[in-house]
Amino acid sequence: MKAVLRLLLVTTTLVLAGHAFGEVLPTAAPVTVDVSEDRLTRIRTVLQKEIDADRMPGAVVMIARRGQLIYSEAIGFQDKVVGKPMTKDAIFRIYSMTKPLASAAAMMLVEEGRMQLTDPVAKFLPQFAQMDVLVTEN
């Protein structure tokens, strides 16, 4: 469940980042880019369960594939106390996102066969080739 929510958060961040720079993606029906409507429907179901269980107040999900926006939805509340509904243009404070974004990028490279999870960091960042790790005992 946490992995799904993290993936949704990363996807939302990436889509919104493009929007922040004034780029507008063309929209398309999911079927035109080989995405199942049923799979997209499950996103709303999962998010609604999280909202109903008070694990999060709301979310914005936007999914793009092949340069086209295929899913865009706001669900839940921006402010549950005052009943302010979530909007697609809601602004979120997102902290400490470097590791999840780098991890998502690395996994994309793994899927493309351009790297393996067992590759040393120095293969891609030569400045790490001579790094020593300090280990001390108390």
Residues 33-43: tens digit of each pLDDT: 999 999 999 99
Helix (H) or strand (E) holding 68: strand 68-79
Domain-embedded: residue 40:
yes
pLDDT band at 7 (very low <50, low <70, confident <90, very high): low
Assessment of whether the complete model's pTM goes beyond 0.75? no
Domain-embedded: residue 107:
yes
Domain-embedded: residue 136:
no
Domain-embedded: residue 29:
yes
The torsion angles phi and psi of 59, rounded to 5 degrees, stand at -160, 160
Domain-embedded: residue 90:
yes
Query: Alpha-carbon distance 72 to 63, whole Å?
Result: 7
Residue count of the chain, please give it: 138
Residues 100-134 pLDDT 10s: 999 999 999 999 999 999 999 899 889 988 888 78
Domain-embedded: residue 35:
yes
Mean pLDDT in residue range 48-62: 95
Domain-embedded: residue 133:
no
Provide the residue range defining the domain that includes 107. Answer: 2-128
Q: Is 72 a catalytic residue?
A: no
Q: What mean pLDDT value characterizes the chain?
A: 86
Instruction: Tally Cβ neighbours within 10 Å of residue 47.
Output: 21
- Total domains in the chain come to 1
Domain-embedded: residue 92:
yes
pLDDT band at 75 (very low <50, low <70, confident <90, very high): very high
Helix (H) or strand (E) holding 64: strand 58-65
